[in-house]
Amino acid sequence: MGDPLIGTLAALDLLDPVRLTVAGETIPVYAEEKRHEDGRICVTATERDGRRTFRIETQWAAGWLDPLVDVCVGEEFRALGTLDDVERVDGSESRPV
């Protein structure tokens, strides 16, 4: 995968600490779930303080589309914006229980 964002998303493991940047906001999260099938990647991540849950999704259409990020509001996801950056961070930070 040539796109670094897509490569990072595809390589995430459960509970990996990550920083997402969306619409100018940098958000520290933990990867909670990843599905990579049928030309689609979908990652669900939760903010480190547990306040918000995000879904990052992209798909192959003659090239990877820009990853879109949704935020969970109540019981549904709403569009937040396009993923600007995703960065794995040092795993030494403890996960809140």
> What gap in Å lies between CA 92 and CA 7, rounded to an integer?
22
- Give Cα 69 distance to the centre of its chain: 7
What is the reported pTM?
0.86
**Domain membership of residue 59 as a residue range:** 4-88
Residue 97 resides in a domain: no
- Give Cα 6 distance to the centre of its chain: 10
Neighbours of 39 (CB within 10 A): 10
**The predicted structure's pLDDT at residue 91:** 58
Residue 96 resides in a domain: no
> What gap in Å lies between CA 11 and CA 78, rounded to an integer?
25
Residue 26 resides in a domain: yes
In which residue ranges of the chain is pLDDT below 70? Answer: 1-2, 91-97
**The predicted structure's pLDDT at residue 96:** 44
Residue 93 resides in a domain: no
C-alpha distances in Å from residue 71, one per residue of 38, 53, 61, 84, 90: 23, 6, 24, 15, 24
Residue 95 resides in a domain: no
Residue 70 resides in a domain: yes
Q: Where are the beta strands (DSSP E) in the chain?
A: 17-22, 25-37, 40-47, 53-59, 68-73, 76-88
Q: Give the chain's domain count.
A: 1
